[in-house]
Amino acid sequence: MLNDDYHNYLNALLLNEPIDSKYQNLLTFDMYLTLISLNNKQYKASYYQNEINILEDFLRKVNNLKVKIQLKRKENEIDELLANIKAIYKDNSFLIEKYNEEKIPLVSTIETKNPTDITTIIDKLTKTKMTSLAKKLDNDKIRDEIINNIYTTDFYLNDDTFNMADISLSLSEFYHIFDYLLDINNYQNITNPWKLNYINSVIESINNGTKLTDYLIIILTVLFVNNNLNGEGINTNKFNIENIKISELYQFANNETSNPETNAKWKKIVIPNDYLYQKIKLIVSTGSYYYQNNIFVMELINDFKISILTEDLSNFLKENISKIIV
């Protein structure tokens, strides 16, 4: 992609304008990157195991239903089990549908009480599950490498392919490996209401193409991922430093810069942009930020905290979009 194209795409997001359809894959990818950060670059084995447990429980009960139908059990007994299966599906449709590759209408098919059709569902979902289990170790390795390196290692998208170091994945493979991010139940460590609402809105946008009300977080992620920026030439003077370690302040006490008006300050102490850049990059990479009214707060608990007015954050992003080289 040409630099101008990419800059136009980001500027359209910044202004909350409609984007060209040719950028839709790019936007989806950038939203996944944002969710990786908001989940603090974590992946737990329990995500997958929970998914498999739910699927197996669903399939086991569907099979029990088939057996009851074949044995011509009482209708109320069959209907009770059917209601239980439908409840499991309703509560876990996202997880179960991941294994429904042929997009069979599961509930309506099961409701027909046709043993042959029910067997087809069991066989096809079980086959997909076995394929998933066979690929699990490879997918875990690739996922870990991406999570641990995506903020420090250059990567690029070529058509519909993600490339980083020795990893090359189609975007559909990338999305499959990170599909746990689309389950809000996998963000249980997050308690901030704004953050949970924002995660939900990003998930909804990925799933249904709904428009976000705020793309600033997406752009912020893009700016600090993939070494797109460095500390040189950025203007941080609108950032308000609320907490910084005294030991770090000492090293900046006699700091001299030729252009102090472009730097953030702690009282009268000028904070170097390269230092602040690394702090912001760490905060962005771990999703350690939130809104408080019209103020955007970035915080590493008991270590570092800065804030900036939403309007100033928008201007900061606008100034730096043109510096991204793709």
Residue 86 CB burial class (10 angstroms; 0-12, 13-18, ≥19): middle
Query: Can you state the angle between helices 24-38 and 3-14, rounded to 10 degrees?
Result: 60
Query: What span, in angstroms and rounded, lies between the C-alpha atoms of 241 and 214?
Result: 24
User: Of 133, 137, 136, 143, whose CA–CA distance to 167 is shortest?
Assistant: 143
Q: Which helix (H) or strand (E) holds 240?
A: strand 240-244
Single pTM value for the model: 0.89
pLDDT tens for the 326 residues of the chain, in order: 456 678 888 999 998 888 888 888 889 999 999 999 999 888 999 999 999 999 999 999 999 999 999 999 999 999 999 999 999 999 999 999 999 999 999 999 999 999 999 999 999 999 999 999 999 999 999 999 999 998 888 888 888 899 999 999 999 999 999 999 999 989 988 999 999 999 999 999 999 988 888 899 999 998 888 666 666 678 889 999 999 988 888 888 776 665 677 888 888 888 888 888 889 999 999 999 999 889 999 999 888 999 999 999 999 999 888 777 65
Query: What span, in angstroms and rounded, lies between the C-alpha atoms of 36 and 28?
Result: 13
pLDDT number for residue 322: 78
Query: What span, in angstroms and rounded, lies between the C-alpha atoms of 71 and 165?
Result: 57
User: Of 164, 172, 144, whose CA–CA distance to 48 is shortest?
Assistant: 144
